[in-house]
Amino acid sequence: MANMQGLVERLERAVSRLESLSAESHRPPGNCGEVNGVIAGVAPSVEAFDKLMDSMVAEFLKNSRILAGDVEAHEYQEDRNDLVISETELKQVAYIFKCEKSTLQIKGKVNSIIIDNCKKLGLVFDNVVGIVEVINSQDIQIQVMGRVPTISINKTEGCHIYLSEDALDCEIVSAKSSEMNILIPQDGDYREFPIPEQFKTAWDGSKLITEPAEIMA
Q: Is residue 163 part of a domain?
A: yes
Q: Is residue 141 part of a domain?
A: yes
Alpha-carbon torsion (19, 22, 26, 27), positive or negative:
positive
The domain tally of the chain equals 1
Q: Is residue 206 part of a domain?
A: yes
When comparing pLDDT for 2 and 157, which is higher? 157
Q: Is residue 167 part of a domain?
A: yes
**CATH number (domain holding residue 86):** 2.160.20.70
Q: Residues with Cβ < 8 Å from 118, sequence gap 6 or more? A: 96, 97, 98, 99, 100, 137, 138, 140
State the pLDDT at residue 70.
Answer: 36
Q: Is residue 182 part of a domain?
A: yes
Q: Is residue 30 part of a domain?
A: no
Contact assessment for residue 177 and residue 157, using Cβ atoms and an 8 Å cutoff: yes
Each residue of 184-198: pLDDT tens digit? 999 999 999 999 999
Q: Where are the alpha helices (DSSP H) in 90-130?
A: none
Each residue of 44-70: pLDDT tens digit? 555 655 555 555 555 544 444 444 343
Q: Is residue 194 part of a domain?
A: yes
Each residue of 98-110: pLDDT tens digit? 999 999 999 999 9
Contact assessment for residue 66 and residue 89, using Cβ atoms and an 8 Å cutoff: no
Q: Which helix (H) or strand (E) holds 161?
A: strand 157-162
Q: Is residue 42 part of a domain?
A: no
Q: What is the residue range of 142's domain?
A: 67-212
Candidates 107, 188, 113, 183; CA nearest to 141 is 183
* pLDDT over 90 percentage in the chain: 56
